[in-house]
Structure 1
């Protein structure tokens, strides 16, 4: 089927995406090193928030809840055509997260989700619906962040051009997806669709709140409006770029670009971004490695 062929093409030409990912990583590391070369990085001199331990504990609890919501969302998405337990859904989600470290554009997640279901087309439709809904929230907050960045760097004209240029492309992509997988949506009840949208929104709010907790602890002088705009910008950049090593470097570079005009000590930007990456990506990915070997045969097949 077409899905298998697409992944086979990627596996036969991994150097293409690999080169792009290396260029992205190299560019991000260049930005970080360039910005930090005039500053001495010394975590011993960093002023840690008084409530840091409590905040980390809360962010960790929210991480577990965050991935539970994603497993529940996947379970609900499959409900119209295939039953799956919350335990199996959680294994699929975490296993896919682990594979995202080596495959581009989070396709490891997509590959695991599709390979574990009987109906590949409907599973693909469910996965694309999940991504599409989450992408809408990412775009909304991301465009808000981009507008703030455009004002900061006085490039409002380019921002307006980007919005106008992006609209027909986004519309075409959604139309192609709907045309190809329309049968899945025809059989979906409005109640299930509403559940998927609400779970997506709830989950998006959870990980935005996680990030906000950490950033506000290290940057208490910045307004909530500016912090949310920065979070939207960072999530948007992380979503549209092919990543190496779970996105290391990309978050930090985009965070520096956004917050540098407002923060004198760049450590205060890098440290919370690093912690949110470790908690939300590295830790669940390590758990997901346990399940990757279980899915290996099905993926190869």
Structure 2
């Protein structure tokens, strides 16, 4: 069996990095080159007070940076069980993961973007640790979204009281399941090890046993803080374009938007279509300004996913697929 020389590995490293950057660039260009919703957003803000627009857009951008800083802190905390990394490295790996995510289904590339910043022997464990963080975010999204959906059904859809109570019970069970599952995540390790073909990976799944309730609570707080940040972004931009909608209604409908998005398979670059259609449908119950809602969703997509993916492209060069990253 042929063994790759150091020079061969170096060439392959560069080819993979170039391919990642090329794919990301193509996908981003295709989605930005003819985005009607972003064009509509420019038209909408052209009629507003310029200073107010600048302040709101600046706040949304700063919140984006704060959002990914929180995710970097969460990642650094989770990975500390496996390998100690500096905050700078955590930030670089998070942004690099976002570059991978834009052209991979369900953001699966985000795992690759992060774990290749770790030592080779720690990468599988790193992916499992990262899953713990994603599960905590999913719990927040699902619980908040399910409760918001219950509010939505009560106010706009259901008129039968018995049906509402039945759905409320289902929502209670649904939320309880996710919370209990998360705080007993070690049980997932036992479940995976009970599957014969997976027993050989026991050493990797053992990471799930290393987080106690206090540590899981801290991870959950990071996820809750992130959820609050990107909800605030939506509130700011929608209030700028449609100031008559009450904050609490915007918040609850945004919770539903996140909930529906998390349940649908997607590609980051196509996600704008899902966001726009979902937002338009639910917000149509409280406003007829469809264009403003779609424009808001497009702006948040641009700020939270596309700009970070572009920033992350600079860190792709730091990846080393065959060894440690300096």
* TM-score, length basis structure 1: 0.74
Q: Distance in 2 between matches of 1:204 and 1:93?
A: 17
Structure-1 residue corresponding to 2:106 = 105
Report the number of matched residues. Answer: 261
Of stretches 125-134 and 137-146 in structure 1, the one that deviates more from structure 2 is: 137-146
Unaligned segments of structure 1, at least 5 residues: 1-32
Quote the Cα distance in structure 2 between the aligned partners of 1:74 and 1:155: 44
Residues 60 and 45 of structure 1: CA distance in aligned 2, closer, same or farther (over 3 Å): closer
Q: CA offset at residue 291 of structure 1? A: 2.5
Q: List per-residue Cα deviations over 1:208-262 (Å, max 9, x = no partner).
A: 1111111222222222221111111111122222223151111110001101122
Q: Which residue matches 2:78?
A: 77
Whole-angstrom CA distance in 1 between matches of 2:264 and 2:77: 28
Q: 1:153 maps to which residue? A: 157
Choose the corresponding residue for 2:258, options 235, 249, 254: 235
Indicate the residue corresponding to 1:187 in structure 2: 210
Residue aligning to 2:294? 270
Residue ranges of structure 2 left out of the alignment (5+ in a row):
1-35, 193-203
Which one is further off, 212-221 or 62-71?
212-221
Secondary structure of the equivalent of 1:297?
A: coil
Deviation at 1:277, TM superposition (A): 1.0
CA change 1:46–1:285 in 2 (3 A) is closer
Determine the C-alpha separation between the residues in 1 that align with 2:305 and 2:102: 10
- TM-fit CA distance, 1:44: 4.2
CA positional deviation for 1:165:
9.0
Q: Which protein shows a greater Rg?
A: 2
Give 1:119 shift. 1.9
SS at match of 1:103: coil
Partner of 1:22: none
Q: Distance in 2 between matches of 1:216 and 1:44?
A: 16
Root mean square deviation of aligned Cα: 3.3
Alignment match, 1:133:
136
The structural deviation recorded for 1:190 is 5.2
Deviations 1:54-102 (A, max 9, x none): 1111111111111111111111111122111111111111111111122
Given the superposition, is the C-alpha separation of residues 297 and 122 from structure 1 closer, same or farther in structure 2, using an over 3 Å criterion? closer
Q: Give secondary structure in 1 for the equivalent of 2:305.
A: helix
Aligned match of 1:177: 188
For 1:98 and 1:155, the matched residues in 2 are separated by 46
Inter-CA distance 107–155: structure 2 relative to 1 (3 Å threshold)? farther
